[in-house]
Structure 1
Amino acid sequence: MKTLAFAVAASTALAGSTALAQDDPLKIGAAVYGLNAEFMQLWSEAAENHPAVQSGEVDLTVFDGRYDALVQQEQFETMITQGFDAIVFVPIDVEAGATAVQQAADAGIPVVGSNTRVNSDLLTAYVGSDDVQSGRMEAEAVLEKIGCEGGVVILEGPIGQSAQIQRLEGNMQALEACPDVEVLEQQTANWSRAEAQTLMENWLTAHPEGIDGIIAQNDEMALGAIEAIKAADLDVADFAIAGIDGVTDALVAVQNGEMTSILQDAKGQAQGAIDVAINAAREGGHEPLADLWQQYPDMEWADGAKGEYEVPWTPVTEENVGELLEMRQ
């Protein structure tokens, strides 16, 4: 658990009040599925740098779910017991997370989803990106490079997480347009570079001449596949490789011509969700502070009352990869 202690102390005159005054710091929890990999680290850092957190309007606590639905459930129970004002939820499991949302709703605590989805109609709103679209985009990039012929492997995210489910749906939509492409292997590597490297090593042994494309549902797994190819003394240029997220090492790999990636805007998702959570906790009237509302003019704030806020994807290209890398420094 990582806590930011920027909360402004309430005055003595307000200390005994049970009502939430406009100037009181809000206690908001961000329950994320895990912090081992760069993307969720970027997401959490962006949440911590939201202007309302930095100014003291919000006291933010980021909870590391350790890729375990039961751990996330326990963290919700902690936040409920401690009287948090709102929760931003990035669940590891689309079904298991519904119980936690129900408990928060029963306690009168608004929950805003972000990045990954939960199968619950009790969310205040969802701020994220269309994973079906990204899955289709990455698969199309691989299929275009191999000319819609040959064999591909698919490295999936954690089974049961919404990003895995929806990106696979997008993968399959693209593959339907290429009936001459064979899916040789398909297995989860749990968003892990190390697990993906091990799987890819096994697949290269099992299909020494058959793998033309690698569809990895995140960049970490694509990078693991690249490491396996290099370890086998094969030429990365002989494979069409795609991932999703735009993490730093993937941007470098794109710059080197080793893979394709699609940037998922961690900052936009996290800070947008914080704005919506503040608005829900204040019961309306919050003026959004994150810059994504200006960055994406088609994302209408609509007084924080929309159920869905879709943050666009940005394909990483030769033209923009240098700028994207500079932004990470």
Structure 2
Amino acid sequence: MKKKIVLLLAAVMAVGMLAGCGKKGNAPASGAVPAEASGQELAVPEGLAGTKVAWVTIQSDAWHHQTAVKAQELLAANGFTCDLFDTNGDDAKGLECLEQIRTAGDYGLVIYACNVTQLDAFKQLMDKGTSVVMYANDFEDNHGVVSTWVCSEYDLGYLVAEKAAQELPENANVVLLRGIEGWSGSVMRGKGFHAALEDAGRDDITILDEKFQKFQKADAMTCMEDWITAYGDKINGVVSENDDMALGAIEALRGAGMTADAGHVLVYGIDGLYQGCKGIKEGSIQASAYQDSNDYAEAALERIQKLVSGEMKPGDCEDLTFDAAYIDSSNVDEFLTYYEKAGMAQ
């Protein structure tokens, strides 16, 4: 999968101050020679806090946990320690994790996902020689200060809605299951949904309703039950901001005998995790947009290698945008095989 990358590397000025500048760079490369195999010991260069990586996210979220574990495995295979920290979906807990990392003082790289920027804490870490990346969230305040790594949220929303527009019947009625109101990813996925339907020229499609359900399967199931009560068999499609909510909607639809595998409502999701792929294989989900956890893992390896080699400094910014793809019946077997071989079939 190709990656579109915007590289913002800080240039060292005569007085030692750092100023961000933008240029394009190369995609993170996999297959690097493990540090153990090279016979070289990892030395902490001057100005870098350490060679360890801290991955801070909500570990109960399936995609975030999968991504963190993939990174941990790849980094370990290349001689680096990656510790996983759990925010429990709580911004205050995320801040506690960052303080714990700063106090430890031996982390060269922090990769962080939460619903707020934590910019002051990020600056404190960088002052102590730790490089910081915020991923899966794009905050304007972070630009030029810390790195931002994202898969285009707009593209994720656009891809599944584009697929829906190709498959929904004439004069279709759809409902939209949204994620977290105000979160940048949900904002962009929603824009992608609406833009794809408009670009497809499907003026005949009516959006009956859209509601934010915080990416929770149980909440989406209850919401779908309410929509079934309100609209009944008028509903032709469900477009969801993640697979978990899509699966919750499917449970409600099955209870009413309205699922796609029964020849009725078409359902679309985002994430392409194992359970979502199973839904595609079974025919209850038509397609899911996919952001590859391996892209983030490879980027983490490349970043810590650059920091240890001195090619990058802790205050340098490197913003990456990874391409989205979609999974449907034509390629779902490849993904199911991948998850099973990787031990992620759960």
Above 0.5 in TM-score?
yes
1:195 corresponds to:
219
Q: What does residue 308 of structure 1 align with?
A: 319
- Report the Cα offset of residue 69 of structure 1: 1.5
Cross-structure match for 1:258: 284
1:273 partner letter: A
Secondary structure of the residue aligned to 1:128 is: strand
Q: 1:231 to 1:262 in 2, by over 3 A?
A: same
1:223 equivalent in alignment to 2:247: yes
Q: Distance in 2 between matches of 1:227 and 1:206?
A: 17
* Percent identity over paired residues: 23
Give the TM-score normalised by the residue count of structure 1: 0.79
Against the structure 1 CA distance between its residues 226 and 69, is the aligned structure 2 distance closer, same or farther, given a 3 Å change threshold?
same
Secondary structure at the residue paired with 2:81? strand
Q: Normalising by structure 2, what TM-score? A: 0.75
**Distance across 1 between alignment mates of 2:176 and 2:121:** 31
Question: For the residues of structure 2 that align with 1:138 and 1:100, how far apart are their CA atoms?
Answer: 36
SS of match in other structure, 1:309: strand
Aligned to 2:210: 186
- 1:86 is matched with which residue? 109
Tell me: CA distance 1:187–1:104, structure 2 relative to 1, closer, same or farther (3 Å). farther
Unaligned runs of 5+ in 1: 1-6, 9-13, 287-304
Amino acid at match of 2:110: I
Partner of 1:321: 332
Instruction: Find 1:164's aligned residue among 166, 186, 191.
Output: 186
2:260 is equivalent to residue 249 of structure 1: no
The letter of the residue matching 2:291 is Q
Structure 1 residue ranges (4+ consecutive) displaced by more than 4 angstroms after TM superposition: none
- The answer to whether the aligner puts 1:28 opposite 2:39 as a matched pair is no
Deviations 1:59-111 (A, max 9, x none): 211111111212111211111121122111122x1x44434333333444211
Structure 2 stretches of 5 or more lacking a match? 1-34, 341-346
RMSD value over aligned CA atoms? 2.9
Q: Quick one: structure 1 residues 277 and 171, their matched pair in 2 at CA, closer, same or farther if it must change by over 3 Å?
A: farther
Partner of 2:5: none
**1:273 counterpart (300, 304, 307):** 300
Residue 140 of structure 1 is aligned with which of 149, 154, 162? 162
Q: How many aligned residue pairs are there?
A: 292
Q: Which protein has greater RCO, CA pairs closer than 8 Å, 6+ apart?
A: 2
Conserved 8 A contact 1:101-1:122 = no
Task: Please report how far the alpha carbon of residue 124 of structure 1 lies from its aligned counterpart in structure 2 after TM superposition.
Answer: 4.3
Rounded Cα–Cα distance in structure 2 between residues aligned with 1:194 and 1:180 = 31
Q: How big is the shift at 1:239?
A: 1.2
How many angstroms apart in 2 are the aligned matches of 1:28 and 1:148? Answer: 51
Q: 1:45 aligns with which of 48, 58, 69?
A: 69
